[in-house]
Structure 1
Amino acid sequence: MHSVYFDSATSSIHVTDEKAIRALWEMGFFGKGSLSRSEPSWLEREKKKRGLAGQKTSEEITRKRREERREMKLERARKEQEAIMQQLKVEAANGNPVAQQQLANGTPVTVNGPADTSTTPQTNGPAHKEAASQPDMGLTTEEDVSDPKQPTPNGTKTVRFSPVVEKKEIPKAEYASTNHQLMNEVDSFEETLTNEEHLQLSNEETFFLAYGLGAVQVFDDASGSVIPTRSLLNLFAQHSTFPSSADSAILEPDNQFLVSYVAYHHFRSLGWIVRSGVKFGVDYLLYNRGPVFAHAEFALLVLPSYEHLFWSATAERRERIAKKQDRSWWWLHGVNRVQAHVMKTLVLCFVDIPPPSESFSTNNIGEILRQYKVREMIIKRWTPNRARD
């Protein structure tokens, strides 16, 4: 069982032990590094930066994959342009006047990048026109000006570049001492380099690890005592809003933490890797295997649903529920548009809120969670030009 610490000032959970950090990440991709985008890899990145031995980090692997995808796209575009030029030549040979005109004008291949080595430069694009419109800077070579002291006809200065580059030689003794000093600095860096990164857990992740798996015990950062699992439910419910609410013996059925945790527990129990979706404007992201293997397939919005007759029994309750569910179609359209742009499927997760009962005052966690029901609905963006037969 791993030890984690709750900080009431920031309403956050921290893991400082390196073995616990690695175990929690590898056992289900829980939490994120405080100095990293996702996987805690600050130490390896720092070693790379200082020239020390280090493993490949997830950021470096992602960067390499992006470069490979970029090269693949450039190569594909180059082949497409070559096919177009070949087709133009065939059509020009068959007497097509449009193709002959394009070949006569020297239609260039417009693929740019390192993979584009066989194409001719574009001389009629916006970059060329902008460069041509710039005034002459008067930089000439030795062949253009016979005497650099003589002014040019248009009054601009001239610069003569020397073809000879002087080479500075470093004595072997000085080089050896410098190399020895650098090696000593590397050794001192390696000795003093400590891992300054810790793992941050969300309240839902912490409660799932403590209650659902029994893998962690939560310590109060102020008193240093262990917080019981039953007390964690009330504690996280209080800190689900900012500022935190007052301590109450009775939980509200539609408490923000309860509704969010029900959805988190539901999908974790089904085998999904559930991560925060704040980057894409949703509550959660659902991964099939994990963030290190592939991108998330689904983006999850958690919405409380007040279908029970208790919530519509009085006008006061109906008014309160209407304020909580006040969302426009434009909001939903905006969220769905973002998910379509990042190639994710939007899932609306409706959590049916039960009426208040005695179980919410007894802190019987199993009995409380048993009263909730979860329904999912997938929404896809319809584009007319792609949906035509």
Structure 2
Amino acid sequence: MDFGKFVWVASVSQDRLIKQGFFGKGTLSRSIPTWDARREQVNNPRLELAPEQVTAKRRSKRREQKQLRAGMQVTATNPEEMYTMEELAAWTGGRGYEQFQLDLYETFFLLYALDVLDLENKHGTKMTTTDCWSLFHQCTEQFAYHFAAYHYYRSQGWVPKDGLKFGVDFVLYQQGPTSKHSDFSVLVIPCVTTAVQDTSDHHDTTMQLLTQPHDQAPHASWVNLLRINRVCAHVKKTLVLCYVSMDASVAHKATNDPSVLNHCHIHEVVFRRWSPSANRE
């Protein structure tokens, strides 16, 4: 935890975590660890290209086509963008430096929901579920609300991944990031559920109202929502507003007790840009 908001996996099979749910990522790769495979190509160029290399070649070809259309002289580009794998392999001495890591939501899901992971602190002491919950709350504001959303989408069969690149909290994949691009982007909006007394019919009844989003969710303003939706539309993703509400009676325990997840409720709203010219029918 001293090196960022991630948990480094030391003694578990990476293949199992990736193939059984696409949990985790490689520190030197876009998604699944491919550094070793790319490094081995230095001595065996016939090996299958890694996704990063396919993307680099496609971008290089796209730049050349733009130069041709613009009547410019085509300049050779390095598919690896900066350095060749031969140079990188020489600098690292043939050693594999890539680490396998989980984000906090993946870690707690494996620990709390599936009970297939043990977590140790930097002193080698095994941490309890409550210890992890409290620590993760110190690292990430509103961890309870975001994890409730992560747990919800995982339970529905989606593969949520970090959506910071697109200005959202999560992006949702149907079959994992190696098969196709994500279809949905999710913005988590924490809310508190309050009870209101209605005596209009002389009977004490209660109804649940969602209050305004939490102060620590500035992205929920209309201006920022329009900005985020524009980005999502540009990358062909549907923006989903995920309102995670928690009973006010237990919200004060959110930082130290994972049992508050039993009092969370999920409400979803699909946010789309409506164009008069494009949506006439």
The superposition leaves residues 219-242 of structure 1 with CA deviations (integer Å, 9 ceiling, x where unpaired) of 112x1111112221111112225x
Q: 1:43/1:385 Cα in 2 relative to 1: closer, same or farther (>3 Å)?
A: same
Given candidates 53, 61, 64, the residue that maps to 1:60 is 53
Q: 1:337/1:239 Cα in 2 relative to 1: closer, same or farther (>3 Å)?
A: same
* 1:59 partner amino acid: E
Pairwise CA distance, 1:324 = 4.0
* 1:24 partner amino acid: L
Q: How does 1:62-101 map to 2 (within 5 A)?
A: 62=55
Aligned to 2:238: 345
Aligned to 1:199: 100
Distance in 1 (CA, whole Å) between partners of 2:71 and 2:273 is 36
1:378 equivalent in alignment to 2:266: no
Given candidates 125, 137, 141, the residue that maps to 1:237 is 137
Pairwise CA distance, 1:380 = 0.9
Distance in 2 (CA, whole Å) between partners of 1:363 and 1:323 is 20
Aligned to 1:291: 177
1:355 equivalent in alignment to 2:248: yes
Q: 1:57/1:321 Cα in 2 relative to 1: closer, same or farther (>3 Å)?
A: closer
Distance in 2 (CA, whole Å) between partners of 1:352 and 1:322 is 10
Aligned to 1:217: 118
Give SS of 2:241's match. Answer: strand
Q: 1:286/1:361 Cα in 2 relative to 1: closer, same or farther (>3 Å)?
A: closer
Distance in 1 (CA, whole Å) between partners of 2:233 and 2:254 is 42
Aligned to 2:152: 266
Give SS of 1:385's match. Answer: coil
**% identical equivalent positions:** 34
Distance in 1 (CA, whole Å) between partners of 2:160 and 2:100 is 16
Aligned to 1:20: 13
Q: 1:60/1:346 Cα in 2 relative to 1: closer, same or farther (>3 Å)?
A: same
Aligned partners of 2:144 and 2:254 also within 8 Å: no
Aligned partners of 2:191 and 2:214 also within 8 Å: no
* 1:331 partner amino acid: N
Aligned to 1:103: none
1:46 equivalent in alignment to 2:46: no
Distance in 1 (CA, whole Å) between partners of 2:180 and 2:103 is 22
TM-score, normalisation: structure 2: 0.76
Distance in 1 (CA, whole Å) between partners of 2:126 and 2:254 is 22
Q: 1:263/1:59 Cα in 2 relative to 1: closer, same or farther (>3 Å)?
A: same
The superposition leaves residues 229-264 of structure 1 with CA deviations (integer Å, 9 ceiling, x where unpaired) of 2221111112225xxxxxxxxxxxxxx110110000
The superposition leaves residues 96-126 of structure 1 with CA deviations (integer Å, 9 ceiling, x where unpaired) of xxxxxxxxxxxxxxx957xxxxxxxxxxx87
Q: 1:321/1:29 Cα in 2 relative to 1: closer, same or farther (>3 Å)?
A: closer
Distance in 2 (CA, whole Å) between partners of 1:67 and 1:322 is 44
* 2:8 partner amino acid: H
Q: 1:300/1:361 Cα in 2 relative to 1: closer, same or farther (>3 Å)?
A: closer
Q: 1:270/1:62 Cα in 2 relative to 1: closer, same or farther (>3 Å)?
A: same
Aligned to 1:29: 22
Pairwise CA distance, 1:386 = 1.1
Pairwise CA distance, 1:299 = 0.3
TM-score, normalisation: structure 1: 0.56
Distance in 1 (CA, whole Å) between partners of 2:151 and 2:240 is 16
Give SS of 1:290's match. Answer: coil
Aligned to 2:163: 277
Pairwise CA distance, 1:363 = 6.2
Question: Bigger radius of gyration, 1 or 2?
Answer: 1
Higher share of residues assigned helix: 1
Pairwise CA distance, 1:292 = 0.7
Distance in 1 (CA, whole Å) between partners of 2:272 and 2:20 is 32
* 2:136 partner amino acid: F
